[in-house]
Amino acid sequence: MADSTRPANVSDPGEAIPSAGRLLFVAAGVVFWGWLLATWVNRWLGGPVVPVGEPFVAPGTVESALAALPLLSAYATDLAFVTRISPEIARGIWLTVVITVVSLAVGFFIAVPLAVARVYGRLTAYVSLVYTELLRGTPLLAQLFVLHFGLNMGQYVPVALSDVFARNVVWVAILGFVLNGAAYQAEYIRGAIESVEEGQLTAGRAIGLSKVETIYYVVLPQGLRYAIPSWTNEFVYLIKYSSLAAFITVPELYYRAFEIASDTFRYPMIFAVTGLAYLCLVLTATELMARVEDLVAIPGVGGDRER
Protein backbone atom coordinates (compact mmCIF):
# COMPACT_ATOMS: atom_id res chain seq x y z
CA MET A 1 0.00 0.00 0.00
CA ALA A 2 1.31 3.45 -0.91
CA ASP A 3 2.26 5.83 1.90
CA SER A 4 -0.51 8.45 1.92
CA THR A 5 1.62 10.86 3.95
CA ARG A 6 4.23 11.16 1.20
CA PRO A 7 3.60 13.94 -1.34
CA ALA A 8 2.91 12.57 -4.79
CA ASN A 9 5.61 14.69 -6.43
CA VAL A 10 8.42 13.68 -4.04
CA SER A 11 10.47 10.67 -5.11
CA ASP A 12 11.90 8.09 -2.77
CA PRO A 13 15.43 9.19 -1.74
CA GLY A 14 16.58 5.63 -2.31
CA GLU A 15 15.65 5.89 -5.97
CA ALA A 16 18.20 8.65 -6.46
CA ILE A 17 21.11 6.47 -5.33
CA PRO A 18 21.31 4.30 -8.47
CA SER A 19 20.96 7.40 -10.64
CA ALA A 20 23.74 9.18 -8.75
CA GLY A 21 25.96 6.11 -8.97
CA ARG A 22 25.23 5.81 -12.66
CA LEU A 23 26.09 9.46 -13.20
CA LEU A 24 29.38 9.03 -11.35
CA PHE A 25 30.17 5.93 -13.42
CA VAL A 26 29.51 7.75 -16.69
CA ALA A 27 31.53 10.79 -15.56
CA ALA A 28 34.49 8.59 -14.65
CA GLY A 29 34.27 6.87 -18.03
CA VAL A 30 34.18 10.19 -19.87
CA VAL A 31 37.24 11.43 -17.98
CA PHE A 32 39.16 8.19 -18.54
CA TRP A 33 38.43 7.89 -22.26
CA GLY A 34 38.71 11.62 -22.82
CA TRP A 35 42.22 11.55 -21.38
CA LEU A 36 43.14 8.44 -23.40
CA LEU A 37 41.86 9.77 -26.72
CA ALA A 38 43.48 13.17 -26.17
CA THR A 39 46.81 11.53 -25.34
CA TRP A 40 46.67 9.19 -28.32
CA VAL A 41 45.69 11.91 -30.80
CA ASN A 42 48.37 14.25 -29.46
CA ARG A 43 50.96 11.52 -30.01
CA TRP A 44 49.72 10.58 -33.50
CA LEU A 45 49.83 14.22 -34.61
CA GLY A 46 53.37 14.70 -33.36
CA GLY A 47 52.62 16.62 -30.18
CA PRO A 48 50.69 19.77 -31.22
CA VAL A 49 49.37 20.30 -27.67
CA VAL A 50 52.27 19.07 -25.54
CA PRO A 51 55.54 17.39 -26.57
CA VAL A 52 55.15 13.67 -27.24
CA GLY A 53 55.67 11.73 -24.04
CA GLU A 54 54.81 14.65 -21.77
CA PRO A 55 51.62 14.86 -19.67
CA PHE A 56 49.05 17.57 -20.39
CA VAL A 57 49.64 19.06 -16.94
CA ALA A 58 53.17 19.41 -15.55
CA PRO A 59 53.76 17.12 -12.54
CA GLY A 60 55.17 20.08 -10.59
CA THR A 61 51.97 21.99 -11.12
CA VAL A 62 49.91 19.05 -9.89
CA GLU A 63 52.07 18.65 -6.81
CA SER A 64 51.91 22.36 -5.95
CA ALA A 65 48.16 22.52 -6.41
CA LEU A 66 47.46 19.43 -4.31
CA ALA A 67 49.91 20.45 -1.59
CA ALA A 68 47.68 23.43 -0.88
CA LEU A 69 44.68 21.19 -0.23
CA PRO A 70 44.54 19.80 3.32
CA LEU A 71 42.88 16.51 2.38
CA LEU A 72 45.18 15.75 -0.57
CA SER A 73 48.49 17.26 0.51
CA ALA A 74 49.78 13.92 1.80
CA TYR A 75 49.25 12.39 -1.65
CA ALA A 76 50.58 15.30 -3.71
CA THR A 77 53.91 13.66 -4.52
CA ASP A 78 52.29 10.34 -5.49
CA LEU A 79 49.70 11.96 -7.74
CA ALA A 80 52.36 14.09 -9.38
CA PHE A 81 54.30 10.89 -10.10
CA VAL A 82 51.18 9.30 -11.60
CA THR A 83 50.78 12.38 -13.79
CA ARG A 84 54.37 12.05 -14.98
CA ILE A 85 53.99 8.41 -16.06
CA SER A 86 50.50 8.82 -17.54
CA PRO A 87 51.69 9.18 -21.18
CA GLU A 88 53.50 5.83 -20.97
CA ILE A 89 50.47 4.20 -19.37
CA ALA A 90 48.33 5.55 -22.22
CA ARG A 91 50.75 4.06 -24.78
CA GLY A 92 50.47 0.69 -23.11
CA ILE A 93 46.68 0.87 -22.98
CA TRP A 94 46.61 1.54 -26.72
CA LEU A 95 48.26 -1.79 -27.55
CA THR A 96 46.13 -3.59 -24.96
CA VAL A 97 42.99 -2.25 -26.64
CA VAL A 98 44.22 -3.12 -30.14
CA ILE A 99 45.22 -6.66 -29.21
CA THR A 100 41.93 -7.26 -27.40
CA VAL A 101 39.58 -5.84 -30.03
CA VAL A 102 41.33 -7.36 -33.06
CA SER A 103 41.67 -10.75 -31.38
CA LEU A 104 38.03 -10.80 -30.31
CA ALA A 105 36.69 -9.71 -33.70
CA VAL A 106 38.83 -12.00 -35.87
CA GLY A 107 38.41 -14.88 -33.43
CA PHE A 108 34.64 -14.52 -33.69
CA PHE A 109 34.68 -15.17 -37.44
CA ILE A 110 36.73 -18.30 -36.85
CA ALA A 111 34.61 -19.42 -33.90
CA VAL A 112 31.25 -19.37 -35.69
CA PRO A 113 32.23 -21.97 -38.35
CA LEU A 114 33.92 -24.05 -35.65
CA ALA A 115 30.76 -24.02 -33.53
CA VAL A 116 28.48 -24.85 -36.45
CA ALA A 117 30.78 -27.65 -37.55
CA ARG A 118 30.82 -29.06 -34.03
CA VAL A 119 27.01 -29.13 -33.80
CA TYR A 120 25.96 -30.03 -37.33
CA GLY A 121 29.05 -31.50 -38.96
CA ARG A 122 30.25 -35.08 -39.22
CA LEU A 123 33.96 -35.26 -39.98
CA THR A 124 34.25 -31.53 -39.43
CA ALA A 125 32.86 -32.01 -35.94
CA TYR A 126 35.97 -33.98 -35.00
CA VAL A 127 38.23 -31.34 -36.54
CA SER A 128 36.46 -28.66 -34.50
CA LEU A 129 36.67 -30.82 -31.37
CA VAL A 130 40.42 -31.35 -31.76
CA TYR A 131 41.03 -27.66 -32.35
CA THR A 132 38.98 -26.40 -29.40
CA GLU A 133 40.27 -29.00 -26.94
CA LEU A 134 43.88 -28.47 -27.98
CA LEU A 135 43.74 -24.69 -27.69
CA ARG A 136 41.64 -24.67 -24.51
CA GLY A 137 43.60 -27.48 -22.91
CA THR A 138 47.05 -25.87 -23.16
CA PRO A 139 48.22 -22.67 -21.43
CA LEU A 140 47.91 -19.49 -23.46
CA LEU A 141 51.39 -18.41 -22.36
CA ALA A 142 52.83 -21.66 -23.69
CA GLN A 143 51.07 -21.06 -27.01
CA LEU A 144 52.58 -17.58 -27.22
CA PHE A 145 56.04 -19.00 -26.47
CA VAL A 146 55.66 -21.61 -29.21
CA LEU A 147 54.56 -19.01 -31.75
CA HIS A 148 57.27 -16.50 -30.86
CA PHE A 149 60.30 -18.42 -29.60
CA GLY A 150 59.58 -21.80 -31.17
CA LEU A 151 58.17 -20.99 -34.61
CA ASN A 152 59.51 -17.42 -34.80
CA MET A 153 56.32 -16.28 -36.49
CA GLY A 154 57.46 -12.68 -36.45
CA GLN A 155 59.67 -13.33 -39.46
CA TYR A 156 56.64 -14.23 -41.57
CA VAL A 157 54.82 -10.93 -41.06
CA PRO A 158 54.18 -9.40 -44.52
CA VAL A 159 56.15 -6.28 -45.36
CA ALA A 160 52.91 -4.30 -45.69
CA LEU A 161 52.07 -5.09 -42.06
CA SER A 162 55.54 -4.87 -40.53
CA ASP A 163 55.38 -1.07 -40.27
CA VAL A 164 52.01 -0.99 -38.50
CA PHE A 165 53.59 -1.63 -35.10
CA ALA A 166 57.08 -0.87 -33.86
CA ARG A 167 57.62 -4.60 -33.21
CA ASN A 168 56.44 -7.52 -35.32
CA VAL A 169 55.96 -9.47 -32.11
CA VAL A 170 52.66 -7.59 -31.71
CA TRP A 171 51.31 -9.51 -34.70
CA VAL A 172 52.51 -12.75 -33.13
CA ALA A 173 50.61 -11.89 -29.95
CA ILE A 174 47.47 -11.07 -31.95
CA LEU A 175 47.76 -14.40 -33.77
CA GLY A 176 48.07 -16.24 -30.48
CA PHE A 177 45.08 -14.49 -28.94
CA VAL A 178 43.00 -14.99 -32.09
CA LEU A 179 43.65 -18.73 -32.17
CA ASN A 180 43.10 -19.17 -28.44
CA GLY A 181 40.09 -16.87 -28.25
CA ALA A 182 38.45 -18.57 -31.23
CA ALA A 183 38.51 -21.89 -29.37
CA TYR A 184 36.78 -20.43 -26.33
CA GLN A 185 34.29 -18.45 -28.37
CA ALA A 186 33.47 -21.56 -30.39
CA GLU A 187 32.46 -23.35 -27.21
CA TYR A 188 30.31 -20.45 -26.06
CA ILE A 189 28.59 -20.26 -29.44
CA ARG A 190 28.19 -24.04 -29.61
CA GLY A 191 26.33 -24.05 -26.32
CA ALA A 192 24.15 -21.18 -27.50
CA ILE A 193 23.34 -22.94 -30.79
CA GLU A 194 22.41 -26.13 -28.98
CA SER A 195 19.98 -24.15 -26.83
CA VAL A 196 17.92 -23.34 -29.93
CA GLU A 197 15.10 -25.86 -30.32
CA GLU A 198 15.90 -28.60 -32.82
CA GLY A 199 12.43 -28.29 -34.26
CA GLN A 200 13.36 -24.96 -35.80
CA LEU A 201 15.90 -26.68 -38.03
CA THR A 202 13.19 -29.07 -39.19
CA ALA A 203 10.76 -26.18 -39.71
CA GLY A 204 13.28 -24.36 -41.85
CA ARG A 205 13.77 -27.39 -44.05
CA ALA A 206 9.99 -27.76 -44.30
CA ILE A 207 9.57 -24.33 -45.86
CA GLY A 208 12.20 -24.98 -48.51
CA LEU A 209 15.41 -23.74 -46.91
CA SER A 210 18.55 -25.82 -47.22
CA LYS A 211 20.33 -26.95 -44.09
CA VAL A 212 22.97 -24.24 -44.46
CA GLU A 213 20.31 -21.57 -45.09
CA THR A 214 18.34 -22.69 -42.05
CA ILE A 215 21.42 -22.48 -39.85
CA TYR A 216 22.30 -19.05 -41.25
CA TYR A 217 18.84 -17.46 -41.23
CA VAL A 218 17.08 -19.25 -38.37
CA VAL A 219 19.50 -20.81 -35.88
CA LEU A 220 22.43 -18.38 -35.78
CA PRO A 221 20.41 -15.17 -35.27
CA GLN A 222 18.92 -16.73 -32.15
CA GLY A 223 21.98 -18.60 -30.95
CA LEU A 224 24.29 -15.61 -31.19
CA ARG A 225 21.92 -13.63 -28.99
CA TYR A 226 22.10 -16.34 -26.37
CA ALA A 227 25.90 -16.23 -26.60
CA ILE A 228 26.27 -12.53 -25.79
CA PRO A 229 26.74 -12.94 -22.01
CA SER A 230 29.43 -15.58 -22.56
CA TRP A 231 30.98 -13.46 -25.29
CA THR A 232 31.14 -10.61 -22.78
CA ASN A 233 33.13 -12.87 -20.47
CA GLU A 234 35.57 -13.62 -23.28
CA PHE A 235 35.93 -9.88 -23.93
CA VAL A 236 36.80 -9.32 -20.28
CA TYR A 237 39.19 -12.29 -20.21
CA LEU A 238 41.04 -11.05 -23.28
CA ILE A 239 41.57 -7.63 -21.72
CA LYS A 240 43.19 -9.20 -18.68
CA TYR A 241 45.00 -12.01 -20.49
CA SER A 242 46.53 -9.51 -22.91
CA SER A 243 49.06 -8.89 -20.13
CA LEU A 244 50.60 -12.26 -21.03
CA ALA A 245 51.85 -10.66 -24.24
CA ALA A 246 54.40 -8.82 -22.08
CA PHE A 247 56.27 -12.13 -21.68
CA ILE A 248 57.10 -12.12 -25.41
CA THR A 249 58.15 -8.43 -25.20
CA VAL A 250 54.96 -6.82 -26.51
CA PRO A 251 54.95 -3.27 -25.04
CA GLU A 252 51.34 -3.30 -23.88
CA LEU A 253 50.05 -1.95 -20.56
CA TYR A 254 51.58 -4.50 -18.20
CA TYR A 255 54.94 -4.43 -20.02
CA ARG A 256 55.22 -0.66 -19.79
CA ALA A 257 54.09 -0.64 -16.17
CA PHE A 258 56.74 -3.23 -15.28
CA GLU A 259 59.42 -1.22 -17.08
CA ILE A 260 58.49 1.92 -15.15
CA ALA A 261 58.41 0.00 -11.87
CA SER A 262 61.83 -1.50 -12.58
CA ASP A 263 63.28 1.97 -13.16
CA THR A 264 61.60 3.73 -10.25
CA PHE A 265 61.05 0.87 -7.75
CA ARG A 266 57.60 2.25 -6.98
CA TYR A 267 55.90 -1.07 -7.55
CA PRO A 268 52.80 -0.63 -5.32
CA MET A 269 51.89 2.76 -6.80
CA ILE A 270 52.49 1.76 -10.41
CA PHE A 271 50.63 -1.52 -10.26
CA ALA A 272 47.76 0.10 -8.37
CA VAL A 273 47.44 2.53 -11.28
CA THR A 274 47.78 -0.33 -13.76
CA GLY A 275 45.09 -2.32 -12.00
CA LEU A 276 42.81 0.72 -12.06
CA ALA A 277 43.41 1.07 -15.81
CA TYR A 278 42.49 -2.59 -16.38
CA LEU A 279 39.38 -2.11 -14.25
CA CYS A 280 38.32 0.86 -16.37
CA LEU A 281 38.80 -1.18 -19.54
CA VAL A 282 36.82 -4.11 -18.13
CA LEU A 283 33.94 -1.90 -16.99
CA THR A 284 33.88 -0.24 -20.40
CA ALA A 285 33.75 -3.61 -22.17
CA THR A 286 30.99 -4.83 -19.87
CA GLU A 287 28.94 -1.71 -20.42
CA LEU A 288 29.49 -1.84 -24.18
CA MET A 289 28.34 -5.45 -24.40
CA ALA A 290 25.31 -4.66 -22.24
CA ARG A 291 24.38 -2.02 -24.82
CA VAL A 292 24.87 -4.55 -27.62
CA GLU A 293 22.67 -7.04 -25.77
CA ASP A 294 19.94 -4.44 -25.38
CA LEU A 295 20.26 -3.39 -29.02
CA VAL A 296 19.76 -6.87 -30.47
CA ALA A 297 17.29 -8.11 -27.87
CA ILE A 298 14.00 -9.56 -29.10
CA PRO A 299 11.24 -10.22 -26.56
CA GLY A 300 11.19 -13.91 -25.74
CA VAL A 301 14.50 -14.59 -27.50
CA GLY A 302 18.03 -14.70 -26.02
CA GLY A 303 19.28 -11.33 -24.89
CA ASP A 304 15.92 -10.04 -23.63
CA ARG A 305 16.52 -8.98 -20.04
CA GLU A 306 12.84 -8.82 -19.31
CA ARG A 307 12.60 -12.57 -19.81
Q: Give 72-96 pLDDT, tens digit per residue.
A: 888 889 999 999 999 999 999 999 9
Q: Is 113 exposed, middle or buried (0-12, 13-18, 19+ CB in 10 A)?
A: middle
CB atoms within 10 A of CB 285: 20
Q: What pLDDT was estimated at residue 18? A: 58
- For residues 118-125, give the mean pLDDT: 91
Say which CATH superfamily domain 89-295 falls into.
MetI-like (1.10.3720.10)
Is residue 113 scored above 60 in pLDDT? Answer: yes
For CA atoms 271, 277, 278, 283, give the dihedral sign: positive
Residues 79, 100: Cα–Cα separation, whole Å: 29
Nearest to 97, CA basis, from 284, 289, 268: 284
User: What is the pTM (predicted TM-score) of this model?
Assistant: 0.87
